[in-house]
Amino acid sequence: MPALETSGDGAYRALRSDVLFGRLAPGARLRLDTLSATYGASVSTLREILHRLACEDLVTTDQRGFDVAPVTSREFRDLGELRNLLESYALHASMSRGDLDWEGRVVGAHHKLARLEALMLAGDNRRSEEWKLYDREFHHVLVSACGSAELRAAYHSVFDRYLRYLNVAVVFRGEIAAQEHRGLRDAALNRDAPCATALLHRHIDGCVTHSVTHELLSERGALADRTDPGRVGSRPRTPVTVGEAGWLRLRRDILEGHLAPGQKLRLDRMRADYGLSISTLREILNRLASEGIVLAEGQRGFEVAPVSLENLTELVDLYRLLADHAIGCTLEQGDLDWESRFVAACHPLDAHEAALIAGDDDAMNQWRQGQSFLFQVLIDACGSVALRQLHGTILDKLLRYCCLARARSAAAITAIDHHSLRDAALRRDAGQAKQLLADHLTRLLAQIRASGLLAT
């Protein structure tokens, strides 16, 4: 039986929809008292919701309060490129795995979209928001048979951020877009991957280019680069509030394995352990649920995300997809300052790996952090904030398996891999760097499997 929806769940969906569809304008101040009257939720519940939306990069937050995330042409291009990377990969997998039921869903979703596009082409713009929903549904159905929950979650997150730009810019390219949608439907049904890839790239690039060249975006505020080398994943290292410090500590306890997979997170016990109020803990756990390292079970509470071979394999595949693309961009664009940061990041990791190999199990957490930092610096000149954010999130989830496995021998393997990867990166040999990364991930996967962590 599905969990009952709480009033907070309803307010979250309504507020998120208003951000995505531009009813709350980019840069708008989100005042808790006003929101409470509009959405019928308490101030404490709204704080949870806004922090959750901040974790999805739809809202920004600082010590002054909350704002709807700004929009910029640069971020729109970044999201378009990232969407194309994820959707092309997922669509290829869906065409390989999809059955007749999937084909039926594709045809059905396109039928609804085509009917709305026909109305729009006839001059009826009253249902433009419904058209956007059907557009979203069609593209989601195209990738629905890809077989990877992690890939779908990443894609859905990126698509929704991209969708917000389409709504803010009010993009409708008329018959061109309708033809591209028909082409995508036919390519999917014909299992024609090259045709689908070309059409998808033209479709996404056409939307972005149309918005930018016609100046349909009203840029409000500069988009801050929230993924610098001093951050964990896509989130800040240095806490600025009590809640931020509690979130950072709880996140670290999950990633480093101090809280076991599947463990129930009981608020009354956690209040004593972490010295935080129930409302602050709920706020933190909802943020972690948005990252996928905690499961929210409606009114039944929260638990640490479980581990499985299937999930690990999905993370490895998705991480390789993101890292390969980012490495290629970084080695093409990185300057001497980037080289200096990368070499500097290698140095402490060498020390942590040496300590772990020597038997110091306490070095495991420093090793995880050192690996996370190194791989983030490796791709931090790729030019895309959105790509680096998603890369950091997936990397942290992958390294969680390393900490849980406590496979000391993995450090000896990765030490050699890191040295080879460093040398290839400094030579700007993207092909060799990508192959070394693939080999590294294969060996790491084997080590985790051999550890017994995933034994049933």
What's the CATH code of the domain at 5? 1.10.10.10
Q: What local confidence, expressed as pLDDT, does residue 214 receive?
A: 64
Q: What local confidence, expressed as pLDDT, does residue 127 receive?
A: 82
Is residue 215's pLDDT more than 70?
no
Rounded mean pLDDT of 254-261? 91
57 and 145 inside one domain: no
Rounded mean pLDDT of 66-77? 93
C-alpha–C-alpha distance, residues 95 and 93, integer Å: 5
Is residue 233's pLDDT more than 50?
no
C-alpha–C-alpha distance, residues 319 and 38, integer Å: 40
Q: What local confidence, expressed as pLDDT, does residue 222 receive?
A: 44
Look at the alpha carbons of 447, 450, 452, 456 in this order and tell me if their dihedral is positive or negative.
Answer: positive
Q: What local confidence, expressed as pLDDT, does residue 1 receive?
A: 37
**Mean pLDDT across the chain:** 87
Rounded mean pLDDT of 59-71? 90
Higher pLDDT, 4 or 322: 322
Q: What is the pLDDT of residues 369-394, one digit of tens each?
A: 888 898 999 999 999 999 999 999 99
Q: What backbone torsions phi and psi does residue 210 show, to the nearest 5 degrees?
A: -60, -45
Q: What local confidence, expressed as pLDDT, does residue 407 receive?
A: 56
320 and 435 inside one domain: yes
Q: What local confidence, expressed as pLDDT, does residue 223 receive?
A: 43
Q: Is residue 168 part of a domain?
A: yes
Higher pLDDT, 449 or 86: 86
Look at the alpha carbons of 87, 91, 93, 97 in this order and tell me if their dihedral is positive or negative.
Answer: positive
363 and 412 inside one domain: yes
Among the candidates 70, 94, 114, a domain finishes at 70
Q: What local confidence, expressed as pLDDT, does residue 244 receive?
A: 80
Higher pLDDT, 188 or 371: 188
Q: Which two tokens stand for residue 403?
A: 């900490």
Q: Is residue 348 part of a domain?
A: yes
Q: What local confidence, expressed as pLDDT, does residue 298 receive?
A: 66
313 and 190 inside one domain: no
Q: Which domain holds residue 205?
A: 73-213
49 and 107 inside one domain: no
Is residue 235's pLDDT more than 50?
no
53 and 97 inside one domain: no
Among the candidates 32, 52, 70, a domain finishes at 70
Q: Is residue 88 part of a domain?
A: yes
pTM for this entry: 0.89
Q: What is the pLDDT of residues 423-444, one digit of tens each?
A: 999 999 999 999 999 998 998 8
Q: What is the pLDDT of residues 146-155, one digit of tens each?
A: 999 999 999 9
Is residue 189's pLDDT more than 70?
yes
27 and 136 inside one domain: no
Share of the chain above pLDDT 90, in %: 57
Q: What local confidence, expressed as pLDDT, does residue 306 receive?
A: 95
Lowest mean pLDDT among 235-244, 313-322, 370-379: 235-244
Residue 331 sits in a domain whose CATH number is 1.20.120.530
Q: Which two tokens stand for residue 253?
A: 């306890």
Span between the terminal Cα atoms of the chain, in Å: 26
The confidence band for 7, taking pLDDT boundaries of 50, 70 and 90, is: low
Rounded mean pLDDT of 356-372? 77
Q: Is residue 345 part of a domain?
A: yes
39 and 105 inside one domain: no
Rounded mean pLDDT of 343-359? 83
Is residue 200's pLDDT more than 70?
yes
Task: Look at the chain and report how many structural domains it folds into.
Answer: 3
Higher pLDDT, 196 or 232: 196
Look at the alpha carbons of 404, 405, 411, 414 in this order and tell me if their dihedral is positive or negative.
Answer: negative
Q: Is residue 13 part of a domain?
A: yes
Is residue 218's pLDDT more than 70?
no
Q: Is residue 43 part of a domain?
A: yes
- Count Cα neighbours of 382 within 13 Å in the Cβ-side half-sphere: 28
Among the candidates 170, 195, 213, a domain finishes at 213
Is residue 20's pLDDT more than 80?
yes
Q: Is residue 230 part of a domain?
A: no
107 and 185 inside one domain: yes
87 and 41 inside one domain: no
Q: What local confidence, expressed as pLDDT, does residue 236 receive?
A: 44
19 and 83 inside one domain: no
Is residue 161's pLDDT more than 80?
yes
Q: Is residue 272 part of a domain?
A: no
β-strands 235-236, 231-232: how paired?
A: antiparallel
Share of the chain above pLDDT 70, in %: 89
Report which DSSP code applies to 3.
Answer: P
Q: What is the pLDDT of residues 78-108, one digit of tens each?
A: 999 999 999 999 999 999 999 999 999 999 9
315 and 204 inside one domain: no
The confidence band for 286, taking pLDDT boundaries of 50, 70 and 90, is: confident
Is residue 269's pLDDT more than 50?
yes
Lowest mean pLDDT among 189-198, 366-375, 401-410: 401-410
C-alpha–C-alpha distance, residues 145 and 351, integer Å: 44
